[in-house]
Structure 1
């Protein structure tokens, strides 16, 4: 017999492990039309990465940024949030799993966007940006699943459409990695549930989803994205970041993409 804790875990997992609805079938023509008309790009604000991705983060898709510590993953997230709001694309939801969200960095990006504005107008711009970025701390996978369910439910019942256009999880691996060790299958089920929810939110509500992932040791001492092969199929796009020649410089490499071959690279610079 299961104890109370096991029953609670099972009840949380059941709705996601055994989804009761099917996605509709589409013809190739319908998918092409949807891509051209609805799947717009949202800017990261980093020229090299935006050029590499063909314009930025694609709405309706999950983009993963993977890289070692201090390679710029969080900076890409913060820059993306700032530029998306500044260009009036919509609101941003930032799920912070490792205390990485930095209002100070947001203010730096806003100042870089509007260097010639008077001080009062800069303050107004900063307040507008900050008021359209909603940040929530998330420290375990149960909280992440609960939040994603809440986001999905809210989006379904938002009359007139939602203004949310970008969902960021920085980092998704911080809350998933602790539960997938060993032979316990529940952790893998929870990881699959997170992936399904992220893809469903992106697809059904035409939202760009950006997640970050850390690196772990692979064969022959090489680094590879964490969470293994089971997670690899979740993101539509995966970029690998590496350190550049300077403190604010890096290189992005396409590891997976729906529209281009892997291996393409671009340099990017994060403002001071």
Structure 2
């Protein structure tokens, strides 16, 4: 009723956003209790693995990207994080369903996606156009240049998933989460920290509630002794379920991935893979 009443007001977008945020907060206090058996059944029946399109990557993760998990790809500049996101998005959009790609750096490349889809499909030339059109139709791309735009799109997705029959998303990609959050952190900025945590919890809620695989990318910064470490600090570190580190051998065009953290896999395991 409150949302409907705002339609009569000029410039009602911020008011509606505030109402939706309040409803979201209320909803978090009314989560149903679930025992271990219910959670196990949910995991087995509703939380599937999405193939990445790279066999060795899938083998490392025991099937691919797990629905219900937030997976973080960390790596220095030019380690291939965006290219890996293109690979994930292409394979899921072509074979499994909807992808929401949140682009913070204006780096989304339809041409690159076309190359990857064409390579993955392996179809005769007369079939490629239909496969490509379907894959590109399944990708919903949003340009987000600050954390507020990110939160707005995520809340929109949450409302669409709850209210629109037939609207289905299998994969959400945020490339990159650190470029949106890092500018609001620093010093004693409690507000920036609260926004970061809100983004993390919203991503985890979308993943779990709607059986979506979420992938975010994060750059690396200098740590003690000059060693590189993922950006955004200790508070963000506990948000992703899975943390993977990427590197690239540019001479051979070979990528490497290593598990830094996983709920039920050993850290340190690694694999090499290629992207067309």
TM-score normalised by L of structure 1: 0.89
Please name the residue that 1:91 is paired with: 98
Displaced runs of 4+ in structure 1, greater than 4 A?
none
Does residue 249 in structure 1 map to residue 246 in structure 2? no
Take 1:101 and 1:206, find their aligned partners in 2: how far apart are those partners?
25
Match of 1:29 among 27, 30, 37: 37
Match of 1:178 among 175, 183, 187: 183
Asked whether the equivalents of residues 103 and 175 of structure 2 are also in contact (C-alpha less than 8 Å), the reply is yes
What is the RMSD of the two structures over their aligned residues, measured on CA atoms?
2.0
Aligned length: 258
Take 1:67 and 1:52, find their aligned partners in 2: how far apart are those partners?
18
Instruction: Give SS of 2:240's match.
Output: coil
TM-superposition CA deviations, 1:90-136 (whole Å, max 9, x none) = 11010000112111111111121233412x32122111111110101
Residue 46 of structure 1: how far off its partner (Å): 1.8
Match of 2:224 among 188, 202, 219: 219
Take 1:158 and 1:147, find their aligned partners in 2: how far apart are those partners?
16
Residue 245 of structure 1: how far off its partner (Å): 6.3
Please name the residue that 1:151 is paired with: 157
Q: Which runs of 5+ in 1 are unaligned?
A: 1-7
TM-score normalised by L of structure 2: 0.88
Asked whether the equivalents of residues 53 and 120 of structure 2 are also in contact (C-alpha less than 8 Å), the reply is no
Take 1:192 and 1:248, find their aligned partners in 2: how far apart are those partners?
36
Please name the residue that 1:115 is paired with: 122
TM-superposition CA deviations, 1:29-69 (whole Å, max 9, x none) = 22222111111011111222211111111111111111111
Does residue 205 in structure 1 map to residue 213 in structure 2? no
Residue 233 of structure 1: how far off its partner (Å): 0.9
Instruction: Give SS of 1:252's match.
Output: strand
Residue 27 of structure 1: how far off its partner (Å): 1.6
Match of 2:133 among 123, 127, 138: 127
Q: Structure 1 residues 170, 245: CA separation in 2 closer, same or farther (over 3 Å shift)?
A: closer
Q: How does 1:46-85 map to 2 (within 5 A)?
A: 46-85=54-93
TM-superposition CA deviations, 1:143-183 (whole Å, max 9, x none) = 11111111111111122x43211111011111100001121
Take 1:139 and 1:245, find their aligned partners in 2: how far apart are those partners?
29
Instruction: Give SS of 2:206's match.
Output: helix
Does residue 44 in structure 1 map to residue 52 in structure 2? yes
TM-superposition CA deviations, 1:4-33 (whole Å, max 9, x none) = xxxx9xx96x948x9332333222222222
Take 1:77 and 1:245, find their aligned partners in 2: how far apart are those partners?
17
Residue 247 of structure 1: how far off its partner (Å): 4.7
Please name the residue that 2:194 is paired with: 189
Please name the residue that 1:5 is paired with: none
Asked whether the equivalents of residues 94 and 132 of structure 2 are also in contact (C-alpha less than 8 Å), the reply is no
Take 2:272 and 2:103, find their aligned partners in 1: how far apart are those partners?
26
